[in-house]
Structure 1
Amino acid sequence: MTSLPPTVPARLQRVAHAVRAYNKCLRIEKSLQQAIDNGEKVGNGMIYVRILGYLIHHVVTDEGMKAVVYEITSCVTDRDLLEVGKMYFNHYIRGFRASKGRIPTPSNHASRPSFDKITDMIKKTLEEAPPSHATAKKHALIRDGYRCVVTGKYDRSSVDQIKELEDMLRANPSLKTEETQCAHIFAESTNSSITPGSALDYAATMWGVVVAFGYKNLPHELNGPKIHRLENVMTAVPGFHNLFDELGIWFTPTDEENKYRLEGANDVHLRDYPEFVTFQTPDPVKFPVPSPIYLAIHATCAKVAHLSGAAACIDKFYRDMEDSTTLDPDGGSADILEHALFELHGQSFR
């Protein structure tokens, strides 16, 4: 968790309502710190106010900045502001962050067909069913050259399945293999045919926040099975996949199209990966690369989650849930119970 910077970003320093909203966050942050120094319990209040402050710094769109500023300035009391921060914690950061254990296990059937050439595999894949996790992985593998987009390691199952790949690796001992997974930018769990007016309150979901940030088409683009569209997936080794899902690593755009710098919450975790990643495709129409818009939204959420302390808080929830077998009769397990209910129902329980 990192204290809020003393001022708004340079581009907002002459925007009076943004400065006023940010100063409100700074005042509440200072008040909470004084309470902590006096030995008082403030719960997750510091995280909530810093989420709002860091959103002003990192939200990508003007619509997003205006939405956050409006939410802050509309608050009558400090408690109201913390409730807004809690809403972003629950329905943006927790909604975006893929839960541990939700990554599907790759299927490895002993009876899977084998192919002599990559082109034979591609032809068979393109004849298959509508979008699903399985077809998304196969299409992503074709686009990504049967390699992890970050490490360059070849997908082990594909090497076993396609003789041309195996021959290529045998001819070049420097090439490596590892089992890969289909990593979603927006996790599969975030969208199950959710639409405005559906039984699940649209305005209270992560999609309501995304729409308020100016991405009005995203719920439609990623609705139901469309969550598996190629723009939302990439081939990745499990270690990177986990870090990406847990908001521990993100892609920052460069001046070059489809080239990104890898950044993360802990520099130590970046050592296994290259500084830059460039997405490539054999056919940009049939096999589009990951969307820069989706990656930008993920990066904003990851940065805010890291800097505000929200990510560390969620990790602690998971550890506590794993370690706890009974609830504390004095109420000490309230946060764990709320988190478990959120995971089960996808909504906040107060």
Structure 2
Amino acid sequence: MDLRVASYLLLHAPSDVGKEWAASSIMSAVNNDEKIAAFGQFIRKHYIRTFLRKRRHTPPVSRHPSPPSFDEMQGTILANLDQAPQNHADAKMKALVRDNYCCILSGVHDCKSYFDMQMHISGARVEETHCAQIFDERTNEFSSTKIVIAKKEYDANVWTIMHCMGHSDILTELEGSSVHRLGNVLTLTATLLGMFNDMTFCLDATGNPNEYNVTASPHVMSELETVACPTKVTLSNSHGLEPPSPVYLAIHAACYRIAHLSGAADWYARIDKGSDAGQCNATIADETMFATILMDRLERLPGVVYAS
């Protein structure tokens, strides 16, 4: 599987710089499958797993004993639109303004906003929405553990991979509270949030500003139809607010392709399903697979880092 991950990174890295890095890393170990597999494992664990991690919904907003009216809250938000969101709740509110209080894919209205604003739109679909992050804020909790790939030493985290693929500026863009910037968030219903976090679909830029094709397998596309998700969407930038970043979405889309073509997405889905059920899908007799699954689960425990 990790050999396939390395191969598909060569084909689908989100930039020419990334493809050149993949080619260089593979060619430096062209006669050594173990070293190429180690490179693929590095990509799988610190690129693919970053986007396949189980993530949180929007944290509940603490209630003031005398909460402001919706109009007052709306006025405060509109008066401070030029200020970058400082936390997840702030990002959600400003993203709702940008996205016209709707899920950006299905067009479903955010229920709280709908009722607070007394919209009363005939035939309107109303659901709770969530603020989805493209790069999860926990990505900033990175490790400085070292790993040697193709005779070069790297920090074992996703930002190293972003740097090697020509996107070193993203760490600065998303550092600290900047991870809540509007370019990193999407307003989605709970169903679409779960599918996005499971990386069952991606958004591919069409070449027109903020316009994307929704890409997924035929089976998933049929599921998306049931929640009124179209095959092509134009993302909003109301009030001149920053739309979801095409660069971040391209990185996510590249990861989607590499994960699904290599089989890594299905592999992680199976071990996560086993983890949720309190089971392990590898037997003791299959020592290599058992160790790989064990390491993956350990790495997702707070404060645990496995040095490859």
TM superposition score category, shorter chain reference: 0.7 to 0.9
Counterpart Cα distance in 2 of 1:86 and 1:217: 24
Matched, 1:278 2:234: yes
* Counterpart-to-counterpart distance in 2, 1:154 and 1:257: 23
Q: Would you say the 8 A contact 2:59–2:88 is kept in 1?
A: no
Point out the structure with max Rg over C-alpha.
1
- Residue 173 of structure 1, CA deviation: 1.8
- 1:288 corresponds to 2:242: yes
Q: Any stretches of 5+ residues in structure 2 without a counterpart?
A: 147-153
Is residue 2:219 matched to residue 1:264? no
% identity of equivalent residues: 32
The alpha-carbon distance between structure 1 residues 347 and 248, as it changes in their structure 2 partners (threshold 3 A), is farther
1:218-266 per-position Cα deviation (integer Å, ceiling 9, x unaligned) = 1111112111111100111111111112211111111311111101143
- CA distance in 1 between counterparts of 2:167 and 2:88 reads 24
Distance 1:226 1:77, change over 3 A: same
Q: Work out the CA distance in 1 between the residues paired with 2:182 and 2:80.
A: 14
What TM-score results when the alignment is normalised by the length of structure 1? 0.75
Equivalent residue number for residue 132 of structure 2: 183
Residues 101-140 of structure 1 show CA distances to partners (whole Å, capped at 9, x for unaligned) of 5334444748543324885363476599951111111111
CA 1:270–1:176 in structure 2 vs 1: closer, same or farther (change >3 Å)? Answer: closer
Counterpart residue identity of residue 92, structure 1: Y
Letter matched to residue 239 of structure 1: T
Give the letter for the 1:153 counterpart: V
Q: Which structure has the higher relative contact order (CA within 8 Å, separation 6+)? A: 2
CA distance in 1 between partners of 2:168 and 2:38 (Å): 24
Structure 1 gaps, min length 5: 1-46
State the match for 1:65 in structure 2.
19
Letter in 1 for 2:138: S
Shift of 1:349: 4.8
Report the alpha carbon displacement of residue 334 of structure 1 after superposing the two structures with TM: 2.5
Read off the aligned partner of 2:46 and give its amino acid letter.
H
Q: Answer yes or no: is 1:85 the counterpart of 2:37.
A: no
TM-score by length of 2: 0.85
- Decide whether aligned partners of structure 1 residues 299 and 101 sit closer, same or farther in structure 2, where only a CA change above 3 A counts: closer
State how far apart, in whole Å, the 1-side matches of 2:63 and 2:207 are.
43
Query: Residue 197 of structure 2 is aligned with which of 220, 241, 245?
Result: 245
Tell me, in whole angstroms, the C-alpha distance in 1 between the residues paired with 2:40 and 2:242.
35
How far did 1:72 drift? Answer: 0.4
Give 1:333 shift.
Answer: 3.7
Matches within 5 A, 1:225-240: 225-240=177-192
Number of aligned residue pairs? 291
Q: CA deviation at 1:96?
A: 2.8
Question: CA–CA distance in 1 between the matches of 2:8 and 2:74?
Answer: 47
Residue in 1 that maps onto 2:68: 113
| Structure 2 residue corresponding to 1:342, chosen from 284, 292, 299 | 299
Partner SS state of residue 277, structure 1: strand
Distance 2:84 2:23 in 1: 45
